[in-house]
Amino acid sequence: MKQLGIILLLGLFIRLISFSWIIHTPQNGDLLRYVDWGRIAFLKGFNQTYNKETITFGGDPNNQPPGSLYPISLAYYSHLKAANIIHKIYKESPWQENQTNQAILYFFMRIPSFIAEILLTIIIFIFVRKQKGKYPHLSAALLYLNPVLIYNSAFWGQMDAINNLFFITALVLITSGKIVNSVIFFVLSCMIKLSILPLLPLYMIQLFKQHLSNKQLIASIAASAGIILLLTLPVSKQPIIWLTNFIQLASGGELQNITSEAYNLWYVLFSFPLSAKIIPVETSNFLGIHLSLYGYLLYILFAAPLFLQMFRGKNITSEKTFILFAALALIAFLFLPKMHERYLYPFFPLLAVALGFSKRWLWLFISVSFIHFLNLFISWDPGYVIYIPYSILENDWFKWGLGVVLIGVFAVFYKQFLITEKDGSLKS
């Protein structure tokens, strides 16, 4: 536990230093939208965050499930209380007071993600150790000290850590035989962000294999319905109707391009430096078929062997379970339409757990972490940073090459993984 404490302290120190570095630089647009939603929720109620007339930043209303508003609102409310206390202690000029308010606000909006990453690291460490994994400290270090996660929370102020905390907890629970609790945490994850939905088919297969009793089935359905209603009622007194309409609207997404700054197959196909470099919308046709349909077909094609392994495997180990989910997360990122650059986040905690049992795929973790960190940095950075070779990072050939390399890394991994399964090297 002492080593885990060192990892957590070091990771938190890096995050705090990173935040202090960018505190007075332009913040990411998503974080500013969270601030707006938090303000509106505090002043007018949760339901008004979904009202376009009340939005003051970005133009578009809240596009996240109702569960996202709880950490956002708590962070915003906490910032108000903290600012009031500080201003009572220190007498500042109006300009200094504004600067203090801004710094406190941006810091508090990141606290939910900071806490989620700490809890996620602790849960993974404890799980790997209880499952007799050889390298729980490696799992913790790879996750919490990963530049992808640090950049996501400390620089961008994104919330991906929160829903992934609930999702990973759901997998830990179902692997431990706690089915109803697992379903509850999976639903909580979906009620915060829908970005883990591409992993739902594999989770459903795993759930089906548990041979739920009637009591467990009823308890799971009742608990899920209760959570959904409880989280949605502050938004609407008709939660079922509201959720139905929300899902229909949210499923379309805000951006309709086949890829949104994600260096995946679609980026490679449509961002070739010698071409027009125009990313088409997902409904564009090729041979009379929408591009999005090709994406779904590719996802099914590459995911099918994973589904079969989960379905047919007997006594599937914890290591294999998390490798299967990590592989599916990478497949979804590379092939599904409308992927954003941040949607590869689940891959890292999933594979970090597997690496607590064996270092076989360490090369994959390091390779994808390096490529994806560059993807994130190129997509958005807080401003000009000295010594950063922007002329290289912004070069079209370099960005296109990152996508090609990531696909190549996946191809090597996928082939090795299937061969391993065929030879029975990774026991199930």
Q: What distance in Å separates the CA atoms of residue 140 and residue 124, rounded to the nearest whole number?
A: 7
Beta carbons of 110 and 154 less than 8 angstroms apart: yes
For residues 84-98, one letter each, b for 16 or more C-beta atoms within 10 angstroms of the residue's C-beta and e for the rest, the string is eeeeeeeeeeeeeee
Beta carbons of 26 and 383 less than 8 angstroms apart: yes
Only one residue has tokens 């060192």, namely: 6
The per-residue pLDDT string of the chain (428 residues; one tens digit each, 9 = 90 and over) reads 889 999 999 999 999 999 988 887 888 889 999 999 999 999 999 999 998 888 877 667 898 999 999 999 999 999 999 888 887 787 766 666 677 788 889 999 999 999 999 999 999 999 999 999 999 999 999 999 999 999 999 999 999 999 999 999 999 999 988 999 999 999 999 999 999 999 999 999 999 988 788 888 899 899 999 999 999 999 998 888 998 888 877 765 667 789 988 999 999 999 998 777 788 888 888 888 999 999 999 999 999 999 999 998 887 899 999 999 999 999 999 999 999 899 999 999 999 999 999 999 999 999 999 999 999 999 988 776 667 888 899 899 999 999 999 999 999 999 999 877 655 544 44
Q: For residue 40, what are the contacts with CB-CB under 8 A and spacing of at least 6?
A: 48, 49, 54, 55
Checking phi first, is residue 270 left (phi over 0); if not, alpha (psi -120 to 50) or beta? Answer: alpha
Q: DSSP letter at 257?
A: B
DSSP β-bridge partners for residue 286: 289
Q: Where are the domains of the chain?
A: 2-423
Q: Side chain identity at 76, as an amino acid letter?
A: Y
- Residue 324 burial (CB count, 10 A): 27
Q: What distance in Å separates the CA atoms of residue 389 and residue 378, rounded to the nearest whole number?
A: 11
Only one residue has tokens 């998503």, namely: 30
Please state the pTM of the whole predicted model: 0.92
Q: What distance in Å separates the CA atoms of residue 369 and residue 406, rounded to the nearest whole number?
A: 10
